[in-house]
Amino acid sequence: MNMDKKVAVITGSGQGIGKAIAERLGKDGFTIVISDVNEESANRTSIELMEKGIESMAVQANVSSKKEIENLVEQTVEQYGQLDVFINNAGIDQVDSILNISEEDVQKIFEVNVFGTLYGIQAAAVQMKKQGTGGKIINACSIAGHRAYSLLGAYSATKFAVKAWTQAAAEELASSKITVNSYCPGIVGTSMWDRIDAGMVEYMNLEKGQAFEQFSKSIALGRTQEPEDVANFVSFLASKDSDYMTGQSVLIDGGILYG
């Protein structure tokens, strides 16, 4: 294993926050494995990284399938010989009144956000323990993992669950020198927030963009978040500088919640 060249896997990294994380870790010197349920976007992002001189490959995977996540780790190790950082970034949103959420909706969002995070933790930890060199598992939580929001009940529930996985896994894996932490973004100008805004417009009798605008007014630093703001913090979590930190779900929201 070439321990001088660290390898990072990022799920849901074909676009948005995941892509920004991939670009930042690539600049930090990591070899990057782009994974996304959308094979086309995964391949496109991987090619963009390679054009910038960053070693990368793409693996299509649906995080709600344990087998596909295990295969993602296997392909990574076959290609690069090791796994140092695994980022459970993939996730989906859902906007609905708590009285209207269907069984199918709950099943879908939990399969991706909750089960998918668990499968990523499991597959990464098994490989890292096999290597005996420790590692870093990093999960995507949210401000909604610290405070539930109306019309985002199911989404909030999944992010509270991610926070629980993070704490439990951190405690269990510490003896193997594997740290587990989460990043908790706020209001980021990505396609996910476009969908949240559209859903809230329907329920709140607003025009397009107004829900996003209303939420954005609560940000102390006076601007909405860029994917790079999240990526900068994930860079720290993936680095040696965070070696003494585990079990934390840290707000990176510009000052919406405090705690």
Which residues line the annotated binding site for NAD(+)? 15-17, 36, 89, 155, 159, 185-190
With tokens 């860079």, the residue in question is 235
Residue 214 has φ and ψ, to the nearest 5°, of: -65, -45
The catalytic position among 155, 183, 203, 244 is 155
Tell me how many degrees the CA angle 92-162-221 measures, rounded to the nearest 5: 75
Rounded CA separation 101/22 (Å): 33
Q: Which residues belong to the annotated binding site?
A: 15-17, 36, 89, 155, 159, 185-190
Residue 5 has φ and ψ, to the nearest 5°, of: -110, 100
* 155 has catalytic annotation: yes
Residues with a known catalytic role: 155
